[in-house]
């Protein structure tokens, strides 16, 4: 495919996408569909945030346990010397 053909293909695809979006924005069904998509994306984002928050808590707990264990080993080693 030549550069010219790729450009024309991209132009046609962009025009089709723009026309589809324009149709969606003009109709009530399209607006309802966009609202549904926004709600879905917002809910998905909230779930990701909640999952990351839980993961952060677990990492912090493991970090604290590791730090305590390291300090414990350090004391044991110093007492043995």
pLDDT at 78 over 90: no
| Cα gap 52→69, rounded to integer Å | 25
pLDDT at 43 over 90: yes
pLDDT at 16 over 90: yes
Tell me the percentage of the chain whose pLDDT exceeds 70. Answer: 100
pLDDT at 24 over 80: no
Tell me the percentage of the chain whose pLDDT exceeds 90. Answer: 36
| Cα gap 33→17, rounded to integer Å | 16
> Does the predicted TM-score (pTM) go above 0.85?
no
């Amino acid at each position: 495919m030549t550069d010219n053909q790729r450009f024309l293909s991209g132009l046609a695809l962009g025009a089709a996408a723009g026309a589809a979006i324009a149709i969606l924005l003009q109709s009530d069904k399209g607006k309802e569909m966009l609202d549904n998509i926004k709600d879905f994306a917002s809910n998905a984002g909230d779930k990701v945030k909640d999952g990351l928050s839980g993961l952060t808590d677990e990492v912090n707990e493991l970090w604290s346990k590791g730090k305590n264990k390291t300090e414990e080993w350090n004391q044991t080693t110093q007492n043995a010397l």
